[in-house]
Amino acid sequence: MSGSSSNLTDRMDSPAHETTRQFVQQTGAAIFTLDGERGSGRSQLCAQQSDGRLTCTEIALEAKSLFSTMQSLNFFCTLPQDPSKTHINCQRIPSS
């Protein structure tokens, strides 16, 4: 294992990643959006509820790290088709 992948594993155990896992589990939503300013070290993660409401929380991770965390939680994340939008859409991959 390379040093960089080892560091990624360590970072996945950080409190911010645990906060993300807990938020995803507690909301039970299948669709999330994430957004954050580059270099800010903070991102917003929002869960779209089945009734259309959004439940959001601030996570102490850059968007790139939050993106990786969401993928590790079995989400497929994509950019919107509109290039003026800066958020990332994440949808839970159904388990088989």
Q: 20: closest CA among 48, 46, 53? A: 46
Tokens found for residue 33 = 């959006």
Number of domains in the chain: 1
Q: For residue 2, what pLDDT is reported?
A: 42
Q: Which residues on adjacent β-strands are paired with residue 35?
A: 44
CA atoms of 20 and 70, how far apart (whole Å)? 8
- pLDDT single digits (tens) 1-46: 444 444 444 466 788 989 999 999 998 888 999 998 888 889 999 9
pLDDT band, very low/low/confident/very high, at 50 (cuts 50, 70, 90) = confident
Query: Which residues form the domain of 22?
Result: 3-92
Q: For residue 74, what pLDDT is reported?
A: 92
Residue matched to tokens 């790139």: 64
Residue 2: other Cβ atoms inside 10 A: 7
